[in-house]
Amino acid sequence: MYLSTLDRSRAAGGPVRAVGGTVLALGTVSLVTDVSAEMVTAILPLYLVVGLQFSPAAYGVIDGLYTGATVLLRLVGGYVADRINRHKTVAGIGYGLSAFAKLGLLAAGTSGPLIGLVITADRAGKGLRTAPRDALITLATPQERLGRAFGVHRTMDAVGAFLGPIATLGVLALGGGAFGPVFMASFCVALLAVLILVLFVPNAKGTRPHPSAVSWRAVARLGRGRLLPAACLLGLVTIGDGFVYLVLQRRVELGIGWFPMLAVGTSLVYLLLAAPLGRLADRIGRLKVFICGNATLIGVYLLLDGPLGGWPLIVLVLALYGTFYAATDGILMALAGSMLPPELRATGMALVQSGQALSYAVSSVLFGLAWQAWGTGPACLVAAAATAIALPLTAFLLAKES
């Protein structure tokens, strides 16, 4: 017991010292922002499907299309950040936009279109900030430590995602079950994150790139790589957290109040595994870890239609789903960081993330329709089959590239 504890603390101290102050500052911003974001995300599917009477198909459209609608903005954000070489400013605008969207949820009341608009603004902010932030991480980290740096950043990110739903439960309990205080608290937390970004994250160092290096023609060259189609392919087989949790909630007939805890469980696994898997990826190869991570999705989908039920099903699905995130999210960006030229880092990352988001939008809508037409069981089986087909294709594409 003593030995294993000692071992773990040393393991945790290692990567933290090895990553720079920028990564730690960005990790803190992400941690606080994720507390804010997950506070809302944890109750949003429930709020829409149950509270506001949206059918599964309508939820799929909201969840998918609004994510997809931010794609263009994401690309613009990455490109502008590269072009003016101000990654921090662009990221800051994104964080700020998402913060004020939380106030918008408060103002939108029960109006479906308004809520859609506010969610769009929130996702737009996320789209705007993600690529410049990830570019900041790669620009402040030596190549051979990229996996580790993203591991630390995503761990901190996941700690926030883990704390967010717990905070939501606390606010719900304190506020007598009203949604309003959750949105208000989420806004306050998000504002704090913006402040930390402004005060503690330095702008990317390094020489201003030659303007001609950052052109749409250069971006078009990026798009011809194999990273983008691979990311899109995998986005197509990801049905999204909301659907995974909704199916799980139905299978287990979980009390509504436990719903946010599903996201907490996933985040817990994610935060425990993100840093170790990041280091593992630096050592044995990022592609291997990335592909294995995606394979766990097949397990998730099969379990959702499997004979297992009750708490064992919840624990297994969340463990696999958290592993999927830990082994893919940061590691894909580390892969991208090692493949993309520095002057187009943010744009390239935005391109990859946009491709993923766009295909995720399509898969979300499709899964919503499949659920409504065939029920959850067959819909999950189809998703599992699609993943099993997409995986070898992705491995082939990425193996050629790296």
Partner 1 sequence: MIALSPRIRVLVTVLAALLLAGVAVAYTALARDRPPVATGSSPVGGGPRLQVLTNGRLSTVSRADPGGPREVTELQCDRAYTAGGTVACLKPVGPLSSTGLIVLDASLRERSALPLTGFPNRLRVSSTGRMVAWTLFIDGHSYATTGFSTRAGILDTRTGRLVKSLEEFTITLDGHPYRNADVNFWGVTFTADDNRFYATMSTNGRRHLVEGDFAARTVKTLRDNVECPSLSPDGTRIAYKSAIDADPKKGWRLSVLDLATQRITPLAETRSVDDQAAWLDDQTVAYALQTSDGTNNTWSVPADGTGTPRLLVPGANSPAPSEVLAAGR
CB count in 10 Å sphere of residue 400: 10
Looking at beta carbons only, is 13 or 180 nearer to partner 1?
180
Exactly one of 12, 195, 389, 393 binds partner 1 (CB under 8 A); that residue is 195
Residue for token digits 């939108």? 108
Rounded CA separation 18/161 (Å): 24
DSSP secondary structure string, 129-164? HHHHHHHHHHHTS-GGGHHHHHHHHHHHHHHHHHHH
Looking at beta carbons only, is 14 or 116 nearer to partner 1?
116
Task: Give the H or E element holding residue 109.
Answer: none
Each residue of 338-374: b (16+ CB within 10 Å) or e? Answer: ebbebbbbbbbbbbbbbbbbbbbbebbbbbbebbeee
The distance of closest approach from Cβ of residue 145 to partner 1 in the complex, given in angstroms and rounded to an integer, is: 25
The distance of closest approach from Cβ of residue 228 to partner 1 in the complex, given in angstroms and rounded to an integer, is: 35
Cα first-last separation, the chain: 41
Exactly one of 142, 206, 211, 375 binds partner 1 (CB under 8 A); that residue is 375
Q: Is 200 in the site for partner 1 (CB under 8 A)?
A: yes
Q: Is 372 in the site for partner 1 (CB under 8 A)?
A: yes
Looking at beta carbons only, is 182 or 234 nearer to partner 1?
182
With contact defined as beta carbons under 8 Å apart, do 157 and 329 qualify? no
The distance of closest approach from Cβ of residue 173 to partner 1 in the complex, given in angstroms and rounded to an integer, is: 7
Looking at this protein, which amino acid is placed at residue 355? G
The distance of closest approach from Cβ of residue 247 to partner 1 in the complex, given in angstroms and rounded to an integer, is: 12
The distance of closest approach from Cβ of residue 89 to partner 1 in the complex, given in angstroms and rounded to an integer, is: 11
Q: Is 173 in the site for partner 1 (CB under 8 A)?
A: yes
Residue for token digits 């902010």? 125
The distance of closest approach from Cβ of residue 190 to partner 1 in the complex, given in angstroms and rounded to an integer, is: 9
110-169 binders of partner 1 (CB under 8 A): 169
Q: Which residues bind partner 1 (CB under 8 A)?
A: 49-53, 55-58, 169, 171-178, 180-181, 184-185, 188-189, 191-192, 195-196, 198-200, 202, 250, 253, 255-257, 372, 375
